[in-house]
Amino acid sequence: MNNFLIVGAGFSGAVIAEQLAKNPNNQITILEERNHIGGNCYTERDTKTNIMIHVYGPHIFNTDNIEVWNYIQQFTELKPYTNRVKSVYKDNIYSLPINLHTINQFFGKTLNPEEAKEFIASLGDQNINEPQNFEEQALKFIGNELYKAFFYGYTKKQWGCEPKELPASILKRLPVRFNYNDNYYSTSLQGIPINGFTEIFEKMLDSPNIKVELNTKFAPADYQVNNYDHIFYTGPLDAFFNFKYGRLSYRTVYFEKNYAIGDYQGNAVINYADENIPYTRIHEHKHFTPWEHHNATVYFKEYSKETEAADTPYYPKRLNEDLKKLELYQAEVQKLSNITFLGRLATYRYMDMHHVIAEALDIVKNFTI
């Protein structure tokens, strides 16, 4: 009999558990410090409106990886869903990502695709050869006006620092399109689980070989590696080592919940790009399930702040000081045997759901005791 310990019941931990449980000789214990499974993908019905709420903020499943797409559909029906994000700037509403409609609307023009390409190229800062940070990346490719309108204020609120302190790689996830495609994602497969994300985790972990212990915080000293054939750790990397080299910095978000009758904003997600508006966006969750009908509505204003000890970490900042600490923690990881670190928190990387699932599937495929 093989005994495994998994720390965390988000996608990383749940996929590992589900795959290992296929072998009747494997016994898996999952420790989850929250009072529910599902990690930040946890969903539940709102008690007042019965609308399905993405408790930790919007999650739209999207990928180009057909293996991951097919894997998830074993546990749910994914209803097709296109995320069409809008942005408010100086009392006007624009489509994101920046596309041909955004460009023409913002500059009061009627450019065709080729004209728009030439126009945007003319706005870029030609003095920047190799962008060294987020701000330079934006200025090089879209110029100052679009950068100030859609990225500067929003990014400063989201990350709590000047954009020039952030790596250029963050902006590479935000394309500029020269057609009228306003699909926020460029991936080919997109959808939302018909009954919410939590059902996926319930089905994944529904095995006599899996035991889940909620409200249980992992302390490395209490769970020695030698007590298990292997440990899979998905919690914060710095916490595992008791913050030996200091805390890695994250941003976290918190929400202000509001109710209304009817339709509050007419869209699932609207960003607020002006720096003087304290929240980053508003999400109205009935729009994530357009196949359902609700007379009332519930929406959330989302705020960003630095992660403190009691907060849930969301986004790794990966500033220069963080990367120095990360190297020290990674050196500690290399000294350990019979333990695997995986997922966004344990590897201190930005990862979407499909990345997390693909990583876990690959780890199990190549895993041997």
3-state SS, residue 250: strand
Catalytic residue among 18, 136, 281, 329: 281
The answer to whether 251 and 315 have CB atoms below 8 angstroms apart is yes
For tokens 């009935």, name the residue. 286
| Terminal C-alpha separation, the chain | 12
Catalytic residue among 152, 177, 329, 344: 177
- Distance, in Å, from the CA atom of 342 to the CA atom of 352, rounded to the nearest integer, reads 13
- Distance, in Å, from the CA atom of 167 to the CA atom of 326, rounded to the nearest integer, reads 16
Q: Is 281 a catalytic residue?
A: yes
Please count the residues of the chain. Answer: 369
Q: Is 251 a catalytic residue?
A: yes
The answer to whether 100 and 178 have CB atoms below 8 angstroms apart is yes
- Distance, in Å, from the CA atom of 138 to the CA atom of 159, rounded to the nearest integer, reads 16
- Count of beta carbons in the 10 Å neighbourhood of residue 87: 23
Catalytic residue among 173, 213, 275, 321: 173
Catalytic residue among 18, 182, 302, 322: 302
Q: Is 352 a catalytic residue?
A: yes
- Distance, in Å, from the CA atom of 36 to the CA atom of 10, rounded to the nearest integer, reads 10
The structure tokens listed for 344 are 């966004």
Q: Is 350 a catalytic residue?
A: yes
- Distance, in Å, from the CA atom of 42 to the CA atom of 120, rounded to the nearest integer, reads 40
- Distance, in Å, from the CA atom of 206 to the CA atom of 78, rounded to the nearest integer, reads 20
Catalytic residue among 233, 251, 272, 329: 251
The structure tokens listed for 271 are 């960003």
- Per DSSP, the residues of 347-368 read HT----HHHHHHHHHHHHHT--
| Strand pairing category for 78-80 and 189-193 | antiparallel
Give Cα 74 distance to the centre of its chain.
Answer: 22
Active site residues: 173, 177, 251, 281, 302, 350, 352
